[in-house]
Amino acid sequence: MQKAKLSFWQLWNISFGFFGVQIAYSLQSANISRIFATLGADPHSLSFFWILPPLMGMIVQPLVGKYSDMTWTRFGRRIPYLFLGSLVAVIVMCLLPNAGNFSFTFSGAMIFGLIALMLLDTSINMAMQPFKMLVGDMVSEEQKGKAYSIQSFLVNAGGLVGFIFPFVLAWCGIANTAPEGQIPDSVKYSFYIGAAILILCVLFTTLKVKELPPKEYAEFHGIDPGKKEEKTLGMFALLKKAPKTFWTVSLVQFFCWAAFLYMWTYTNGAIADTVWHTTDVASKGYQDAGDWVGILFGIQSIGGVLWALVIPKFKNIRTAYVVSLLIGAVGFASVFFIHDQYLLILSFLLVGVAWAAMLAIPFTLVTNALTNHIGTYLGLFNCAICLPQIVAAACGGFILKLVGGAQVNMFIVAGVLLVLGAVSVYFVKDAKKS
């Protein structure tokens, strides 16, 4: 039985909840270092807080995929996980920015913040994965490109909204400073509003999307209910058989994602120092810098969307990969030399060029090299995104000391890492299937 063609709005409804989930993820990405620094964390320890997001992604997303495959309820198979993850995320988003308001000691506030961050990472990852699966479950092969394009648009739009929230609220007059050890209201209200939008978007998808029941699902996917599933190879056996491209692209990914981990960790402290000339986390300058970080990350998203239109114009995908990463390296390095907040917009537009390539080109190269077990291999390839962030986070404090202790110096490190990534593309061969 052939899958029915879905209208634009049916495709839109399937992914609309992702808009709210991405707002939550962007608020976390842009504000975690700011929150823990405001609570009193030492800059040399900031990178350790960034171990949790990729670690939880590595653990949670494969588990959600595995167990939702085996789940059938009257509410669907993916939506229960989506709804549960979003509900927990909403609760934690209301608690995390209040870590400094519960009369905890310094260590108590840190422990509370870490637990809240772990729960937020877990719940966001639980809410993210079902959207990718819903497209695979319900959309025909001919429409998948369109469906993922809609999803990509909603992800970038949600990211942009989440990044700029604190800046917009501060501009509207919401307090952008707070007593020492407490988070400003502009950040708190950003999380509250983000939580409200998240649950409303997810409720919209939950009410509008009806998942296929088991019988229809089997028919649409050509599954014979009476036939036993073929025994598949274990993950380690598949890794042994992985094509060379899988490993060479993973090497490039290692350098790229480590570079971006350092951007997420140190941008706030770096530009507070070089543009607002302060390292005092309780000062208005530091919090203004934190708001501007959201704007810069939003600019990076815009740069990524624009460059994504350019990448297909390249005749050779490897050339596009190298050029994109080198442009991103220039963007990173320029942050070290630029001390004007508006000129930094150009820096982050260039960083967005590398970001666009990282999100698109690696998956193209890897899938071109695969003939079977594509889904499992892409799940394993997710480790090439998560592991470098964990390694970079674990080494961040040591490297920061090594380069002199100034957080802006880590942008030179990030630039060097992207150059190493560009050099590593030499080892990648495009095994595009005819």
Residue 68 has pLDDT above 80, yes or no: no
Question: Cα separation of 23 and 309, whole Å?
Answer: 23
Residues 199 and 254 in one domain: no
Would you place residue 374 in the very low, low, confident or very high pLDDT band (cuts 50, 70, 90)?
A: low
Q: Measuring CA to CA, how many Å separate 385 from each of 222, 253, 324, 355, 405?
A: 32, 7, 18, 13, 27
Residues 69 and 172 in one domain: yes
Would you say residue 262 lies in a domain?
yes
Residues in CB range of 230: below 8 A, 6 or more apart: none
Would you say residue 380 lies in a domain?
yes
Question: Cα separation of 197 and 199, whole Å?
Answer: 6
Token digits for 409?
């110096």
Q: Which of 163, 188, 222 is the last residue of a domain?
A: 222
Would you say residue 133 lies in a domain?
yes
Residues 269 and 326 in one domain: yes
Average pLDDT of 408-419?
97
Residues 212 and 243 in one domain: no
Residues 114 and 215 in one domain: yes
Q: Which of 200, 222, 244 is the last residue of a domain?
A: 222
Would you say residue 227 lies in a domain?
no
Range of 431's domain? 235-434
Residues 193 and 279 in one domain: no
Region of poorest pLDDT, from 82-96, 123-137, 404-418: 123-137
Would you place residue 336 in the very low, low, confident or very high pLDDT band (cuts 50, 70, 90)?
A: very high
CB 22 within 8 A of CB 162: yes
Residues 304 and 406 in one domain: yes
Q: Which of 156, 189, 222 is the last residue of a domain?
A: 222
Q: What is the CATH number of the domain that holds 158?
A: 1.20.1250.20
Q: Following DSSP, what letter does each residue of 416-428 receive, concatenated?
A: HHHHHHHHHGGG-
What is the tens place of the pLDDT at every residue in 278-327? 988 888 899 899 889 989 998 998 888 888 878 888 888 899 999 999 99
What is the tens place of the pLDDT at every residue in 212-229? 777 776 666 566 655 554
Token digits for 55?
């670690």
SS3 content of the chain, % helix, strand, coil (to 5): 80, 0, 20
Task: Look at residue 175 and give its three-state secondary structure.
Answer: coil
Diameter of the chain by CA atoms? 69
- Dihedral pair phi/psi, residue 364, rounded to 5°: -65, -50
Question: Cα separation of 357 and 176, whole Å?
Answer: 35
Query: What per-residue confidence (pLDDT) applies to 232?
Result: 52
Note the residue count of the chain: 434
Would you say residue 208 lies in a domain?
yes
Half-sphere exposure of 54 toward its Cβ, with a 13 Å CA cutoff?
24
Average pLDDT, the chain: 83
Q: Measuring CA to CA, how many Å separate 123 from each of 61, 109, 134, 194, 389?
A: 10, 21, 18, 14, 19
Would you say residue 397 lies in a domain?
yes
Question: Cα separation of 137 and 139, whole Å?
Answer: 6
Estimate to the nearest angstrom the gap between the alpha carbon of 8 and the chain centroid: 26
Residues 189 and 247 in one domain: no
Residues 164 and 245 in one domain: no
Would you say residue 112 lies in a domain?
yes
Half-sphere exposure of 283 toward its Cβ, with a 13 Å CA cutoff?
12
Question: Cα separation of 26 and 252, whole Å?
Answer: 24
Residues 211 and 307 in one domain: no
Question: Which of left, alpha, beta for 415 (phi over 0: left; psi -120 to 50: alpha)?
Answer: alpha
Among 270, 360, 274, CA closest to 317: 360
Would you say residue 152 lies in a domain?
yes
Q: Following DSSP, what letter does each residue of 30-80 receive, concatenated?
A: HHHHHHHHHHT--GGGGGGGGGHHHHHHHHHHHHHHHHHHT--BTTBSSHH
Residues 42 and 166 in one domain: yes
Region of poorest pLDDT, from 106-110, 156-160, 412-416, 428-432: 428-432
Residues 355 and 417 in one domain: yes
Query: What per-residue confidence (pLDDT) applies to 230?
Result: 46
Q: Which residue has the higher pLDDT, 80 or 180?
A: 80
Cα-based torsion angle of the residue sequence 428, 304, 201, 90 in order, rounded to the nearest 10 degrees:
80
Overall number of domains in the chain: 2
